[in-house]
Amino acid sequence: MTTLPKAIILLSGGLDSATCLAIARHEGFEPVALSFDYGQRHNAELVASRRVAEAFAVRDHRVLRLELGTMGGSALTDSSIDIPTEASEGIPVTYVPARNTVFLSFALGLAEVVGADAIFIGVNSVDYSGYPDCRPEFIDAFETMANLATKAGVEGHHMKIHTPLMHLTKAEIVQTGMALGVDYALTVSCYQADSEGSACGVCDSCRLRRKGFEDAGVPDPTRYQAA
Amino acid sequence: MTTLPKAIILLSGGLDSATCLAIARHEGFEPVALSFDYGQRHNAELVASRRVAEAFAVRDHRVLRLELGTMGGSALTDSSIDIPTEASEGIPVTYVPARNTVFLSFALGLAEVVGADAIFIGVNSVDYSGYPDCRPEFIDAFETMANLATKAGVEGHHMKIHTPLMHLTKAEIVQTGMALGVDYALTVSCYQADSEGSACGVCDSCRLRRKGFEDAGVPDPTRYQAA
């Protein structure tokens, strides 16, 4: 029996990270999934991440509790800030300060502990929300830093940050995932899903997702909240 | 009344970070202290961080709970690994995977939330323990990444990672701190301090600290455990 190389997959339970997991499997990695409980408004995302991990037979799925919420500063973790229902200019209020930096840092630590040389993150610079930490130049800089931060770097391994969705449209992400067997009904993308995981249909994330299915010519399996 | 520029200070409660806090104050910053409860073997460090923050009249001191311990991989968070009592070659077992990367990432998020353009971390490349994430090239790479990760970078601010101890010997750190009024009796450096904060005297961190006081020609105020 061959041992597959391990990869850490940052798994939020949304459309993008589920597709990332499918791609990592397809590329021959043994996935170690990492999710965060960071004071999101609901835990539908975490429930979705467990369903998605199960669907891809992930044997090691870790959920870390963080206190991002106590830092404030984002509509995603601070209930005093309203979630916008229209696209806005610049960096939106749903931006969580340094979120991808924090998530990738934990992924880096876990990679070192389990002996993985690969980290997958579903960031995207096409149909994206305008977050600075989704850009390719950020990822490149993180990878450079990661290789100086760790034993791996010192001992001559190379830690690679994989961003297979970076240059895909949402429609292409959906088509890629469908081809690899992702059941998008299991995923939750909405910023304000209810406790059953039904989506609002109006937040930025819902609108990007809905358009993705439309453009891909695929029926949208998302459960929406009753109006 | 002038408003001082804010700086995030990573404050462990040890000798180095206490000195860093004193330096940040001396350089005219309003310190926002950030400590972590990350499954250390004892909480003497956290108690010390509170004492040190109080001594320097820090008005905003945040303690974040993290689950580094659940990731395993270090003698500092995994009680099944013994703390070594002699210097070793290479990267020691007390190394916590990606710890400074994780800590700096949270500092970066907090800096963005409170509007600070400066982060102080007490890393040192002279009398240090051989951790890869204490090297100047790591700090430089983190700073580059940080400026791509955040609103600050996008909006033209520059986030600066200050490492005032980087090139000082332990004796020089002690002398600097004494000149700035640090009471080192408040600090705890030991990897296995007891619940009162008394030090073992034999771990790597204790040996570096003790030598620092000796070389500085300063009485060592550390309380050691009864043999």
Q: Render pLDDT for B172-211 as a digit per residue (tens, 0 to 9).
A: 999 999 999 999 999 998 878 888 889 999 888 899 899 9
Band (B71; pLDDT cuts 50, 70, 90): low
Mean pLDDT of the region B12-31: 96
Q: What pLDDT is stored for residue A66 in this prediction? A: 77
CA A192 – CA A194 distance, rounded (Å) = 6
Chain B, window 144-163: residues with a beta carbon less than 8 angstroms from a chain A beta carbon: 144-146, 148-151, 153-154
pLDDT for B82 beyond 80: no
- Listed in sequence order, the residues at least 6 apart from B183 whose beta carbon sits closer than 8 Å to its beta carbon are B55, B221
- What per-residue confidence (pLDDT) applies to B219? 92
Q: Each residue of B117-161: pLDDT tens digit?
A: 999 999 988 765 567 888 899 999 999 999 998 766 556 679 999
What is the DSSP code (8-state) at residue B36? E
> For the ranges A48-62, B29-43, B61-75, B79-93, which has the lowest average pLDDT?
B79-93
Cα torsion at A120, A70, B19, B117 (round to 10°)? 70
What is the 8-class DSSP label of residue A2?
Answer: P
pLDDT at B70: 57
Structure tokens at A162: 């994989």
pLDDT for B195: 81
CATH number, domain with residue B52: 3.40.50.620
Task: Give the pLDDT mean for B25-33.
Answer: 97
Whether residue B150 lies inside any domain: the answer is: yes
Residue of A151, A157, A163 to mutate when probing chain B, most B C-beta within 10 A: A151
Taking all residues of chain B, what is their mean pLDDT, rounded to a whole number? 84
Give per-10-residue mean pLDDT for chain A (227 aa): 89 95 97 85 83 95 75 53 52 65 92 92 78 88 92 72 95 96 93 85 89 94 86
To the nearest whole Å, the CA of A20 is away from the closest chain B CA by: 21
What pLDDT is attached to residue B76?
47
Sequence-distant (≥ 6) Cβ neighbours of residue A124 within 8 angstroms = A16, A134, A165, A166, A168, A170, A173
Count H helices and E strands in chain B, helices first: 8, 5
How far away is chain B from the Cα of A62, in angstroms, using its nearest Cα? 9
Domain encompassing residue A128: 6-216
**List of chain A residues whose C-beta atoms are within 8 Å of the C-beta of residue B141:** 141, 144-145, 148-149
Alpha-carbon distance B95 to nearest alpha carbon in chain A (angstroms): 9
**pLDDT, tens only, A159-202:** 999 999 999 999 999 999 999 999 999 999 887 888 888 999 98
This model of the complex carries an ipTM of: 0.85
B186 is a domain residue = yes
A172 within domain boundaries: yes
Question: Is A92 within the bounds of a domain?
Answer: yes
Q: What is the mean pLDDT of chain A?
A: 84
Task: For A104, name the nearest residue in chain B, comparing CA atoms only.
Answer: B102
- pTM across the whole model: 0.87
pLDDT above 60 for B107: yes
- Domain membership of residue B72 (yes or no) is yes
Q: Do A145 and B145 touch (CB under 8 A)?
A: yes
| Type of residue numbered A190 | C
Nearest to B98 among A68, A95, A149 (CB): A149
Which residue of chain A comes nearest to B140, CA vs CA?
A145
If you average pLDDT over residues B53-79, what whole number do you get? Answer: 74
A225: in domain: no
**Which pLDDT belongs to residue A129?**
59
The pLDDT value recorded for residue A127 is: 60
Length of chain B: 227
Please give the radius of gyration of chain B, using alpha carbons only, rounded to the nearest integer.
17
Whether the predicted pLDDT of B73 surpasses 70: no
Asked if residue B221 is part of any domain, the answer here is no
Banded model confidence at residue B60, pLDDT cuts 50, 70, 90 = very high
Least Cα distance to B150 among A141, A165, A121 occurs for: A141
Cα three-residue angle B123-B21-B73, rounded to 5 degrees: 40
| DSSP three-state, residue B76 | coil
For residues A39 and A99, give the distance between their C-alpha atoms in angstroms, rounded to a whole number. Answer: 12
Whether A223 maps to a domain, the answer reads no
Chain B partners within 8 Å of A97 (Cβ): 108-110, 112-113, 150-151
Overall number of domains in chain A: 1
Dihedral, CA atoms, B177, B39, B200, B9, nearest 10 degrees?
A: 0
| Cα–Cα distance, A12 to A34 (Å, whole number) | 8
